[in-house]
Amino acid sequence: MARGNCFPRKQSSVYRGRFSQFLVLFCFVFFPYGLRFVGSPWVAVESHIAAAAETPGKGKKLLDELVRRAKQEGEVIATIQSSWSKTLVQPLADAFKKRFGLDIKVTVANVASARHFPVAVAETQSGTAATYDAVQGDDSETMLLVGPGGTQKVDGWEALLAEINPLVRSGKVRPDQISQGPFTDHSFLYMANVKQLIYNTRLISEKDLPRTHKELADPKYKGKFAQPPWTSHWEIAPVAFENFDRNEWLEVVRRAGKNTGAVLGESAAVQRVILGEFAFALAQDRYLRQILAKDPKAPVAYRFFDDYNELNGVYYSVRTRARHPAAGTLWALWMTTPEAQAIWQPSDLQAVPYGESKLDRDFWLGIEKSKARVIGFLDNERTVELLKWYRTEEGRKYLDAMARAIRGE
């Protein structure tokens, strides 16, 4: 399993506290201008701690100013996952307002980021006001928006996180576990999933499932599976293989697309797998949890691919030219907190990589036990370079071509 700095293995709080104290002292004595351990799971931790120590009260001052401005703005408009229950909207809005003492209008919309982000990019390029103040999207979607300047930098974000998120304030979670790499100070991780195959055990056995993504093009699977229109099951491939050929991979995606029985959102696809309309679907881990939570005897199981499985992070960003930027910033940072997680996770059943719930712990344990090859965009320099490439014109065109290939075009 590949697991990088974005989602590091949890360490005991005692060890982490002692190590942090030693590291701060070491840095102050020997490296007064800062030290960076490249490639270490403690990348930049000393600078985060030192910054917090040097500026006591900075976070409170920044937060008080954001709250003051948010009250003046009088509203916030944010997106949530399109698959989230509408019953979550009011509890999230009420808890958000209570946390910051706000009496403002909170509009929360179920939005499919794969469909909205092209609109958001167009808004950015045309210079028009953003439709939403705070938006959520996965790694590649967020990169497409960050690249052309569609997101705002959050000044003092580390101090603000420490003030807003108790896990950061206590030192259990480092700021760079929430915002790092090309997303630093722009986008904030609040949940993640792992892509996999979900199948109907009455229609196909585990041994008869495809082992690799290339096998999805095998004629024996024609019409037997569904996949989503977004590229997250395919886009990490350039760093999964040696001697990767982009054009050859597009052809693999295209042949698999022509084999696909239907191109559907993951939730709808899994439901049709349960109904027996498809033997399996390309989906994510949370749908299996949701199904088994309702019916433990449902004929459904999962399998990871042998070649790779994408770790799909989901981030909140504040839009450039947001109408309510202060309130949008509060929303984006608050959604990283255990308080927000406690509202949406019981029904959505998606993991928070740095979270402390049983689901969060089981998330990593399941991956470790499976020994699956899981790759995330922030794992290492190579994956980060791929993510950065996707924000270039060439990279955007490649993702567009991949999206068409999923439909067999």
pLDDT digits (tens, 9 = 90+) for 8-66: 444 333 333 433 444 333 343 333 333 322 333 333 344 444 444 444 589 999 999 99
Its pTM stands at 0.83
SS3 assignment, position 54:
helix
- Residue 387: the pLDDT is 93
Asked if the model's pLDDT at residue 270 lies above 70, the reply is: yes
CA 97 to chain centre: 24
Does the pLDDT at position 193 exceed 50? Answer: yes
In the chain, where are the structural domains located?
13-52, 57-190+314-348, 193-311+370-406
The proportion of the chain whose per-residue pLDDT surpasses 70, expressed as a percent, equals 86
Instruction: Determine the average pLDDT of the residues in 77-85.
Output: 95
Residues 172-191: pLDDT tens digits? Answer: 999 999 999 999 999 999 99
Mean pLDDT of 97-110: 98
Please return the burial class of 263, using the count of CB atoms within 10 Å of its CB with bins 0-12, 13-18 and 19+.
middle
Average pLDDT of the chain is: 88
Q: Are 379 and 313 within 8 A, CB to CB?
A: no
pLDDT of residue 56: 54
Element (H, E) at 227: strand 225-227
| Cα pseudo-dihedral 230, 285, 379, 407, rounded to 10 | -20
243: left (phi over 0), alpha (psi -120 to 50) or beta: left
Question: What digits encode the pLDDT tens for the residues 216-250?
Answer: 999 999 999 999 999 999 999 999 999 999 999 99
Mean pLDDT of 100-108: 98
- What is the distance of C-alpha 6 from the center of its chain? 11
Helices (H) and strands (E) counted in the chain, each on its own, are: 16, 10
pLDDT tens-digit map of 114-132: 889 999 999 999 999 999 9
Tell me the two tokens of residue 189.
């991780």
**Reported confidence tier of residue 379, pLDDT bands at 50, 70, 90:** very high
Give DSSP secondary structure letters for 125-167: HHTPPPS-SEEEEEHHHHHHHHTTT-B---TTHHHHHHHH-HH
Cα–Cα distances in Å, from 97 out to 90, 104, 158, 184, 277? 11, 7, 22, 26, 44
What is the homologous superfamily of the domain 193-311+370-406 according to CATH? Periplasmic binding protein-like II (3.40.190.10)
- Is the pLDDT at 330 greater than 90? The verdict is yes
Residue 5 contacts residue 184 (beta carbons within 8 Å): no
pLDDT value of residue 48:
46
pLDDT at 19: 39
Residue type present at position 317: S
Q: Which of 112, 113, 119 is nearest to 141 (CA)?
A: 113
Residue found under tokens 């499919």:
112
Q: Report the pLDDT value the prediction gives residue 391, as an integer from 0 to 100.
A: 86
Rounded to whole angstroms, how far apart are CA atoms 333 and 14? 27
CATH of domain 57-190+314-348: 3.40.190.10
Q: Which two tokens stand for residue 99?
A: 């946390």
The pLDDT value recorded for residue 41 is 35
